[in-house]
């Protein structure tokens, strides 16, 4: 079931965008980052009902997602 709701792959954490945001306080395409954060959130929610390994992955994704949301709030929003 999890692979069905994920489209067969896990979203990647946006490391490059996070580094750019931390370094410069700006992003070339903030909309793309917001979309990635949304995908990570949806993936974590989908995985929560699965087996223990996938629940652990969901927890990791939620942790990374919270980090990105804090970055967005601190650096991109006035």
Between 74 and 11, name the one with better pLDDT. 74
Q: How many domains does the chain have?
A: 1
Dihedral sign for Cα atoms in the order 26, 32, 2, 5: positive
Q: For residue range 12-48, what is the model confidence (pLDDT) as tens digits?
A: 566 677 777 767 777 777 777 777 777 777 777 777 7
Q: Which domain holds residue 51?
A: 2-24+32-76
Please give the Cα distance from 53 to 61 (Å, whole number): 13
């Amino acid at each position: 079931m999890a692979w069905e709701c994920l489209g067969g792959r896990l979203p990647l954490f946006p490391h490059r965008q996070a580094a750019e945001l931390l370094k410069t306080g700006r992003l070339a395409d903030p909309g793309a980052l917001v979309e990635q954060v949304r995908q990570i959130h949806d993936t974590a929610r989908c995985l929560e009902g699965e087996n223990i390994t996938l629940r652990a992955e969901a927890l990791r994704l939620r942790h990374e997602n919270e980090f990105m949301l804090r970055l967005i709030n601190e650096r991109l929003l006035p």
